[in-house]
């Protein structure tokens, strides 16, 4: 049974940027132990939904975690329960990889105590997991785009929260690391019981790794549920305005876009 403490819900969530409504009454539930892919065309509101959950943008509606309104949770406590990896991440030039990952443990540090041995072990393990342990002393700005992306993922792992929100975490990654990182993200849900929400553009990666899909269009939820029931030819064509074939291969759905010309 899903852990209710990790249940993240949005009820009637709306966001305006200025006078423009970009999220229109979104109601979704993200269960623990499951990897949910948040999908939809560019500009449909995926990042805005994650920002609204984190309270980064002003919203109407209610977000709850474990039944309690997220707004009622103090920011520092929230950082021990929800980790959010935005789409574009920047850090000061001088920061090393080890220092970046250690930032993930900041919310748990106790006043004047610094980091514990257990924290240090967790940071080292996070770096090993993303294959960057040997680069720990290297400055983040000297890493390649893909290595940098893995460094940020290590920071999120070091934060060790029950809920993990990832905005396009496999951007810039080569084929091997797309799969390695998504295996890892899937394991966070499947083996560690975390609630994992991941913005993905690649339908085939979603079909391979996601338990559930929330498919958005123009600020609303077009379909949500088990991956297989959401990633249908009709849904995909309607939302992306692109003819596709959905094939079955090795018990998995494969999306093949059709060339129109």
Ligand X SMILES: Nc1ncnc2c1ncn2[C@@H]1O[C@H](COP(=O)(O)OP(=O)(O)OP(=O)(O)O)[C@@H](O)[C@H]1O
Residues that bind ligand X (CB under 6 A): 17, 22, 40, 42-48
Tell me whether residue 44 or residue 246 sits nearer to ligand X (CB atom). 44
Q: CB of residue 246 vs ligand X: minimum separation in angstroms?
A: 21
CB 5 within 8 A of CB 33: no
| Smallest separation, CB 28 to ligand X (Å) | 14
Assigned token pair, 34: 């499951």
Cα–Cα separations (whole angstroms), residue 188 to 140, 151, 163, 209, 253: 25, 17, 10, 12, 23
Burial class from Cβ neighbours inside 10 Å (0-12, 13-18, 19+) for residue 46 reads buried
**Nearest CB to ligand X, comparing residues 44 and 126:** 44
Closest CB to ligand X among residues 43, 69: 43
Residue 48 or 235 having the CB closest to ligand X: 48
Contact 150/181 with Cβ under 8 angstroms?
A: yes
Q: How far is the CB of 212 from ligand X (least distance, A)?
A: 18
Do residues 64 and 259 lie in contact, with contact meaning Cβ atoms separated by under 8 Å? no
Q: How far is the CB of 63 from ligand X (least distance, A)?
A: 16
């Amino acid at each position: 049974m899903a852990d209710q403490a990790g249940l993240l819900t949005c009820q009637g969530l709306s966001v305006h940027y200025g006078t423009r409504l970009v999220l229109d009454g979104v109601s979704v539930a993200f269960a623990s132990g499951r990897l949910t892919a948040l999908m939809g065309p560019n500009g449909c509101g995926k990042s805005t939904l994650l920002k609204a959950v984190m309270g980064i943008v002003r919203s109407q509606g209610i977000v709850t975690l474990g039944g309690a309104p997220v707004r009622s949770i103090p920011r520092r406590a929230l950082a021990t329960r929800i980790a959010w990896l935005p789409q574009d991440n920047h850090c000061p030039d001088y920061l090393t990889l080890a220092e970046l990952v250690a930032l993930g443990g900041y919310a748990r540090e106790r006043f004047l105590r610094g980091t514990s041995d257990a924290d240090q072990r967790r940071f080292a393990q996070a770096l090993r997991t993303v294959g960057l342990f040997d680069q720990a002393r290297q400055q983040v700005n000297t890493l390649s785009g893909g290595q940098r992306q893995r460094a940020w993922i290590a920071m999120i792992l070091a934060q060790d929260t029950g809920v993990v929100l990832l905005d396009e975490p496999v951007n810039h990654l080569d084929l091997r690391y797309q799969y390695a990182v998504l295996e890892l993200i899937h394991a966070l849900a499947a083996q560690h019981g975390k609630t994992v929400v991941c913005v993905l553009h690649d339908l085939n990666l979603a079909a391979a790794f996601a338990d559930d899909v929330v498919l958005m269009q123009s600020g609303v939820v077009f379909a949500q549920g088990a991956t297989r029931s959401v990633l249908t030819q009709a849904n995909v064509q309607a939302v992306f305005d692109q003819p596709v074939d959905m094939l079955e291969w090795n018990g998995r759905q494969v999306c093949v876009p059709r060339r129109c010309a």
